[in-house]
Amino acid sequence: MPDAIAVIPQPSVLEQTGDAPFVLTEATTVVVDGRPDLIGIAVLAADLLGRVGGRAVEVRYAESSPGAATGVVRLRLVESLPPGDEAYRVTSRAGRIDLEARTPAGLVRAIVTLRQLVVAAPGGVLQVPAVRIEDAPRYQWRGLSVDVARHFLPVRDLKVVIGLMSHYKLNVLHLHLTDDQGWRLHVRSRPLLTRLSSSTSVDGDPGGFYTAEDYADLVAYGAVRGVRVVPEIDVPGHVNAATHAYGELNPSGEPTDSYTGIEVGFSRLHADLPATGPFLTDVFSDVAAMTPGEYVHIGGDEVLTMEADEYATLVAAASAAVRAAGKKVVGWQEIAHTPLEPGTVVQYWDTRVDPAPFVAAAQAGALLLMSPGSKAYLDMKYDASTELGLEWAGHIELRDAYDWEPSTLIEGVPAESVIGVEAAVWTETLRDLPALTQMLLPRLAAIAEVAWSAPERRDWDDFRDRVARQAPFWDRLGLSWYASPQVDWA
């Protein structure tokens, strides 16, 4: 039954071999070489398969079970695959499934593909059709940016988001940790940021923040699932939480009032105040020290009350602090107006303005991350009747989020400058996990396919059928989602 297969994002090669399917039973076992870096992956595979089947799946080490029995899911590192860390192969048939990749990260991609292949056959038997899948991502950066500043999301909710991201092979969770309304990450050198500015949120809703331990827990939870965390400390605008905690950042020397509205562009740092440089150095070096990944995001968006040269000075100071701590810089589109080191990642978002500086930055060696507001901003309403969300970049129905091409969206951008695609969800109107997933699902699956699948493997009608079959999975997890009228939900 070919139509039972509904993998998102669409793999590069997927063939049904015509063999008998693999049947999941109580004897199904995950087998792996007993290497430390593979054991966690095997446990993840057993956990995910166990959840689908409703019973525990055992992990065994290859050395201890020679002549592998039947009912085996074998995980293995191999070299004979398409290039890239995340390439993988899945081969399934009666009695045996092979998951192969060059790296543990590739095995994680194979595992979630396998999870998506499990179908309930008549009689309630769970089986995996006999297939050969060979797959690798189009873009190396496939992200979701979550605004935890306007409304705070506790660690347990962010873990649900990480699980969903991993399920659709997204690999970067970008956390917008600071804004006018709240500061969400404890910073060792600047304890007043969370002591004085974490309890507020938009509309007077409760706030919160992540301790260093919370943050490490999130980073580790993501790492096992192939999702790295990129922290954003937004400067030199969107800083009222900072200027509320440290009055020395203001010309008056006095703290600003806390803020719970949703205007943007009014708060700012000052390049000529003596406290500003040390603040940037302290905060960015502490945040970099909490970050095992390569990148730290400096924000840089919507600074509406500053001359261009002061803005450039502050962006350079923040960037220098990030680089001094051994990390690479990411910033929103506006930083393209300042001189940038080659390799800086510039994140495109504002579809209303002239993209010329952004194109020029790419030509000068910047890497481009595509988050067009009109396609990838998942806080935009689906249509005029959507209760939650904003509308400044238009309405984004499922097909709008799906049907766009990152390499030709902006004329003049060299295709090889595009490092990837990132969805964003801003939380001015989204106060909890159900509100968030109502906006993410189903559109996150669409963006994931834009970011992972080759353009010639993407097809709206086919995606429409595959996404319809995701609903039981979201329901099983108890997630709220939007039943787009563009899809015939099963």
* Binding interface with ligand TNX (CB under 6 A): 264, 301-302, 332, 349, 377, 379, 390, 426, 428
How near is the Cβ of 289 to ligand TNX at its closest, in Å? 25
| Alpha carbon 108 to chain centroid, angstroms | 15
Compute the least distance from the CB of residue 330 to ligand TNX, in Å: 12
Asked if residue 122 has a cis previous peptide bond (ω within 30° of 0), the answer is: no
**Which of 131, 368 has the CB closer to ligand TNX?**
368
CB 248 to ligand TNX: min, Å: 25
Q: 400 vs 428, which CB is nearer to ligand TNX?
A: 428
Q: Between residues 118 and 262, which has the closer beta carbon with respect to ligand TNX? A: 262
- Cβ distance to ligand TNX smaller for residue 215 or 349: 349
Task: Give the nearer residue to ligand TNX in terms of CB position, either 273 or 390.
Answer: 390
Closest approach of ligand TNX to the CB of residue 390, in Å:
5
Q: Please, what is the minimum distance in Å from the beta carbon of residue 428 to ligand TNX? A: 6
User: Is position 302 annotated as part of the catalytic site?
Assistant: yes
Could you tell me if 121 and 129 are in contact, meaning their C-beta atoms sit under 8 angstroms apart? no
Q: Which is nearer to ligand TNX, 133 or 361 (CB)?
A: 361
Closer residue to ligand TNX (CB): 52 or 369: 369
For the bound state, the minimum distance from the C-beta of residue 147 to ligand TNX, rounded and expressed in Å, comes to: 6
Q: Which residues lie below 8 Å from residue 442, measured CB to CB, with a gap of 6+?
A: 398, 467, 470, 481, 482, 484, 487
The Cα 89–Cα 13 span in angstroms is 9
Provide the greatest CA pair distance for the chain. 76
Q: Which of 232, 263, 294, 302 is flagged as catalytic?
A: 302
CB of 369 to ligand TNX, least distance (A): 12
Residues with catalytic roles: 302
